[in-house]
Amino acid sequence: MKNKIKYTNEPIEARVISDFLPRPENLILNEKKTRVTLTLTENSLDFFKTVAKKHKASYQGMIRRLIDYYVANQQP
């Protein structure tokens, strides 16, 4: 180790932060899903698979969330 850590007895300023995170059971998205057959262009499918792999996600989940987002923004 090149740099040694020097510890001091300086006072520590600490404060309590309120719990702002949702409960774990509130993070579960158990929405009812319906299986459909969808034909995509090869270019579109390659895009979703590439991006999903890069982010270690599901390409089908990405497509589903994209459609959900579109629907949510179309409703008045």
- The residue among 63, 62, 19, 65 whose CA lies nearest residue 40 is 63
Q: Give a yes or no: residue 1 inside a domain.
A: no
The one-letter code for the residue type at 57 is A
Instruction: Tell me how many domains the chain contains.
Output: 1
The one-letter code for the residue type at 41 is T
Q: Give a yes or no: residue 73 inside a domain.
A: yes
Q: Give a yes or no: residue 45 inside a domain.
A: yes
Q: Give a yes or no: residue 23 inside a domain.
A: no
| DSSP secondary structure of 18-31 | ---SPPGGGS----
**DSSP letter (8 states) at residue 4:** P
Q: Give a yes or no: residue 22 inside a domain.
A: no
Q: What is the pLDDT of residue 6?
A: 82
User: Are 52 and 62 in contact, with CB atoms under 8 Å apart?
Assistant: yes
- 44-65 mean pLDDT: 92
Q: Give a yes or no: residue 9 inside a domain.
A: no
Q: Give a yes or no: residue 56 inside a domain.
A: yes
Q: Give a yes or no: residue 27 inside a domain.
A: no
- 60-73 residue pLDDT tens: 989 988 988 888 88
Within 1-76, residue ranges assigned H as helices are: 42-54, 59-74
